[in-house]
């Protein structure tokens, strides 16, 4: 990837789920094209937890059919980085979402970094 891409990379969204339901982290409500280049998952508690990440390109189905990471373990007080090889693209013409889920209330903070194209 060219260095110019990283110069334009910014924080796209940040969320700490208050419950165990899946919730959209990055959506395309403003009809801008986004490419999510990395996602951090931070466990801010003293207990292990699990997380899931969903990418539904045309809706809000957050289950095993749209899971790209499912029930992944994260140790207490640690950070996991997800850096897909080609990024998760959210196009202006679609209604897709990148959603996240934690098995423990208020345990994980998810942050998406990427670019607007």
Which of 106, 92, 17 has the alpha carbon at shortest distance from 53? Answer: 17
CATH code for residues 13-116: 2.60.120
Structural domain boundaries in the chain: 13-116
pLDDT in tens, 85-108: 766 666 655 677 889 999 999 999
The Cα 8–Cα 5 span in angstroms is 5
pLDDT in tens, 10-41: 998 999 999 999 999 988 766 677 788 889 99
Rounded to two decimals, what is the model's pTM? 0.87
Q: Burial code of 28-63, b = ≥16 C-beta within 10 A, e = fewer?
A: beeeeebbbbebbbbbeeeeebbbbbbbbeeeeebe
């Amino acid at each position: 990837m060219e260095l110019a891409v990283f110069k334009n990379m910014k924080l796209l969204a940040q969320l700490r789920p208050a419950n165990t339901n899946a919730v959209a982290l990055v959506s395309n409500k403003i009809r801008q094209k986004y490419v999510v280049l990395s996602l951090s998952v931070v466990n801010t508690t003293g207990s292990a937890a699990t997380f899931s990440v969903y990418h539904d390109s045309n809706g809000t189905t957050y289950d095993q059919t749209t899971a790209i990471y499912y029930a992944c373990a994260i140790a207490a007080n640690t950070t996991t980085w997800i850096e897909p090889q080609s990024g998760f693209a959210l196009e202006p013409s679609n209604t897709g979402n990148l959603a996240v889920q934690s098995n423990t209330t208020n345990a994980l903070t998810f942050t998406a970094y990427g670019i607007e194209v």
